[in-house]
Amino acid sequence: MSQDRFAAAAATARALADPTRLAILSRLARGERCVCDLSEELGAAQSRLSFHLKTLKRAGLLVDRPEGRMTYYALRPEAADGLADLLERLASPRRQRRAR
């Protein structure tokens, strides 16, 4: 794995290291949402959620789509797949040792 991929994985891990951001991702796993929907579902201020959404987007985990005055957010499935691949690679040697 290249240094660039390690850097990207580290940025993703930092973005995931927050309970609010994990709650946002959990909601977005069920489909696209606007900040106002997330605010209602999570009981958090829109300004606070906007900060977290920006962090997740910078980490490459989300895409956004403007529609009128609203912006809708959705998960980038390939980003989640990339993280899952990294975790699988990290777990593989351990699993092989346990299987012996």
User: Region 4-24: what's the mean pLDDT?
Assistant: 88
Phi, psi angle pair for 70, to nearest 5°: -100, 155
Question: What tokens were used for 57?
Answer: 């987007």
Predicted confidence at residue 89, as pLDDT, reads 81
- Residue 99's pLDDT is what? 59
Q: What is the pLDDT of residue 12?
A: 85
Residue 70 · residue 36 · CB < 8 Å:
yes
Question: What CATH number corresponds to the domain at position 77?
Answer: 1.10.10.10
Number of domains in the chain: 1
Which residue type is seen at 82? G
Domain of residue 49 covers 3-99
SS (H, E, C) 29-47: CCCCEEHHHHHHHHCCCHH
pLDDT band with cut points at 50, 70 and 90 for residue 57: very high
**Amino acid 88: pLDDT:** 85
Look at the pTM and tell me if it is higher than 0.85.
Answer: no
Separation between Cα atoms, residue 11 and residue 94, nearest integer Å: 24
For the segment 16-55, what is each residue's pLDDT rounded down to a tens digit?
999 999 999 999 999 999 999 999 999 999 999 999 999 9
* Mean of pLDDT over the chain: 87
